[in-house]
Amino acid sequence: MDKSETLSRLAELVGIEPVYWDIFGHRNETSEDTKRLMIAAMGLPLGEANDAAAEYLQALEERTWRRWLQFVTVIRRGQPMTVPLNLPADVAMQPIVWSLTAEDGRVVSGKLQPGTLSESDSRIIYSTKVVRLDMPLPEDISDGYYHLIININSISAHGMVVIAPTMSYMPAWFLADERRWGVACHLYALRSENDWGIGDFTTLGKLTTALAGIGATCIGLNPLHALFPHNPLHCSPYSPSSRLFLNPLYIDVSAVPELVECDRACKRIRTARFQKRLKQARATTHVDYIAVAALKFEVLELLHACFESQHPAGRKTDDRRRAFQLFCEAGGEPLYRFALYQALVDAHKGLGWHDWPVPFQTTTSAAVQAFAQEKVHARRIAYHLYLQWEADRQLGAAAQHCTDNGLSVGLYRDLAVGVDPAGADVWSHQETFAAARVGAPPDQFNAKGQDWGSPPFNPLRLQENGYADFIAVLRANMRHAGALRIDHVMALMHLFWIPLGGNPSTGAYVGYPFDDLLGIVALESHRHRCMVIGEDLGTVPPEFRDRMTAEGILSYRVLMFERWPGENLFKRPNTYPPVALATASTHDLPTVAGHWHGTDIALKRQLNLVSADQPAETLVEKRNTDRQLLRAALMDQELLGQDFPLNPALDDGHMQTLILAVHRFLARSSSRLMLVNLDDLLLETTQLNLPGTVDEYSNWQRKIKFLVENLKDNHYLHTSAAAIHADRSARPAV
């Protein structure tokens, strides 16, 4: 095997795919340079001449055979309940003593006699024959995570076993072929009478009240991940510091229990200067993140100080202190590391961890441990723990409001595909991430591909760590949720990596342990009684969607993309797949009104974002055709008349007719879940995010036009909801 073949084989073993087809049908081969850079990004530097490739290749090819037990074995219900053992042939002839410990500490054990296990494979490793035996497990063990130990002649081996359901959780109504719907919004965009310039968890609870009784069953949200308090303008919910914890800006300060017992905070809030700042923050059409952060953190620090004085550590009879301690204990080391990271950011004036002195860049260093022990820093750590505790309490209260108001699915949360490299997750779990960036090849969103800037999970480390980081992310985001949307769900199978210093043209796909990850998703979804929706837009092979359906993961179907190839006609509602969520648009696309008006095209012209290969005139011409096709699709369903005008500048009355027709069209779809964007019901024309922009456009800032308290009296919202609910409740057309 020459060096080129060795490199290719090594790339194959670590999951680097040799070729991919983009959405335009172009075949793209992975270059040797890209393979070398990606292998190095996984912690296996090869050097320019691939000198280390042969050594790594042998180690990887023999990796599984050198371990008696694999790091993790995932078994789905319906599969053989066996765990593979790789034992030297002479060792395999000895009795095997085993024990299986469940999460609650219960132990099942047994002993297997030589010759009772079937041999499924063998290999020669260092002149020794190693045989693969299938070790049976008890058939009656329940779904969950187990620690398996085998002992042969006083030598032990350890591994993790995951027993998972056949598919992800589906509620009874879904299995009964019922169709339901909900309302989608971005939490920061909500407005209420008493907010502090940004939507918060109390406002979310008020929205559930406004939606009570109109037929909606869920509220779809943007990711609620922790961002960067010291840099409030870093506000993209899809580029968080941590996917494990919450954004404290969503805390409703007025709902924090300490406020009623903190005179300093109450006096601060009542001052004329503070009230003026608060009024200004509320009055803006776009979230002023700098002002909001200053207002909230100023008071939250006072409330934490009050908590420490009124509910001191060690007071065992204090219910609030006990609740805080229980939260911290449940969060464990990951929560503590997050709070420690935040305290270190405080101490380093908001700098990301790459810019800290080297001793502080490693979580377990002596410098970091000494920092955490200093009283002033310990107080800051406790403060950030307090923020997470209160955020979680208030989010839980909002989820309870869903239940109380009859929204049977509840909160529909969103999981971003990655995190910012300067954030808490990467600092806390550096060994889990690869030195590369995640992106996308050319697709309908961006003809040149995309670089999202997030470091990917290192597939070589995921299994070694027992998938702990992946499990933690799922648990954190299924908490208080009845549904979870996984952004770029194809990341469970493979992710498009871009080498550091490269661009999407130098990228390639890297595979992940797809079957294992799907099993864990299924297990966690059942434990949380949480449906799973997979965002599968863009370059997705048909067999991937087939697997999603088999797994009970809902496809994400957007009206504007549901077209027939060739003539680009909109697909009829009855052709939408049942195991799917249907919606009119996404945060990266114009609203229904914005699309019809061409607001997005005008904006791209204004910001000089129109490319040479797609000039504005071409976009306008395509949009004119789109309007004709959309009207035709709605006329086909008898939702619009032939006389409905194609004029881009529709008045509000005609626009309301159009938007209702669009949503009734989707309500008739076979898809069992449907989301209506609140922006559409409020006739919003500007989109929340304009891909390809950073400072040119106010991404993730625009608020809704109306107070949430007034939505219960919004006639158009209620008449639309009634029509949508009627169509959803009717038997779908065949």
Beta pairing partners, 457: 433
Q: Which of 650, 649, 656 lies closest to 715 in space, CA to CA?
A: 656
Please state the φ and ψ torsions of residue 727, each to the nearest 5 degrees.
Answer: -70, -35
For residue 415, the model assigns a pLDDT of: 99
100, 102, 151 from 110: Cα distances, Å: 9, 15, 11
- Write out pLDDT tens, residues 165-181: 999 999 999 999 999 99
- Write out pLDDT tens, residues 296-340: 999 999 999 999 999 998 887 899 999 999 999 999 999 999 999
- Decide which of 348 and 733 is more confident: 348
Rounded to whole angstroms, the Cα distance separating 152 from 68 reads: 10
For residue 444, the model assigns a pLDDT of: 64
- Write out pLDDT tens, residues 265-290: 999 999 999 999 999 999 999 999 99
The predicted model gives 633-645 an average pLDDT of: 97
Rounded to whole angstroms, the Cα distance separating 58 from 50 reads: 14
Rounded to whole angstroms, the Cα distance separating 564 from 569 reads: 5
For residues 456 and 495, is the Cβ–Cβ distance under 8 A? yes
For residue 273, the model assigns a pLDDT of: 98
* Residue 59: pLDDT band with limits 50, 70, 90: confident
Q: Which residues of 48-64 are buried (b: 16+ CB within 10 A; e: fewer)?
A: eebeebeebbeebebee
Rounded to whole angstroms, the Cα distance separating 216 from 564 reads: 30
Residues 6 or more apart whose CB falls under 8 angstroms from that of 244 comprise 226, 334, 335, 338, 425, 472, 473, 476
Whether pLDDT at 129 is above 70: yes
- Write out pLDDT tens, residues 199-212: 999 999 999 999 99
* Residue 46: pLDDT band with limits 50, 70, 90: confident
Whether pLDDT at 610 is above 90: no
Which tokens go with 253? 């300060």
Whether pLDDT at 429 is above 90: yes
For residues 437 and 239, is the Cβ–Cβ distance under 8 A? no
The predicted model gives 343-364 an average pLDDT of: 97
What is the average pLDDT value for the chain, to the nearest integer?
95
Rounded to whole angstroms, the Cα distance separating 412 from 398 reads: 12
Residues 6 or more apart whose CB falls under 8 angstroms from that of 379 comprise 308
Domain spans, the chain? 3-61, 78-164
* Residue 219: pLDDT band with limits 50, 70, 90: very high
Whether pLDDT at 96 is above 90: yes
Return the CATH fold of 78-164.
Immunoglobulin-like (2.60.40)
For residue 53, the model assigns a pLDDT of: 82
Between 220-224, 503-507, 658-662, 680-684, the lowest mean confidence (pLDDT) is in 503-507
Rounded to whole angstroms, the Cα distance separating 725 from 174 reads: 16
Whether pLDDT at 49 is above 70: no
* Residue 734: pLDDT band with limits 50, 70, 90: low
C-alpha dihedral sign at 471, 473, 474, 478 = positive
Which tokens go with 304? 């934490």
For residue 542, the model assigns a pLDDT of: 86
- Write out pLDDT tens, residues 705-714: 999 999 999 9
Question: 298 exposed, middle or buried (CB, 10 Å; 0-12, 13-18, 19+)?
Answer: middle
For residue 160, the model assigns a pLDDT of: 98
For residues 380 and 342, is the Cβ–Cβ distance under 8 A? yes
For residue 25, the model assigns a pLDDT of: 81
The predicted model gives 245-255 an average pLDDT of: 99
Whether pLDDT at 445 is above 90: no
- Write out the DSSP string of 396-432: HHHHHHHHHTT-SSEEEEEE-S---TTSHHHHHTGGG
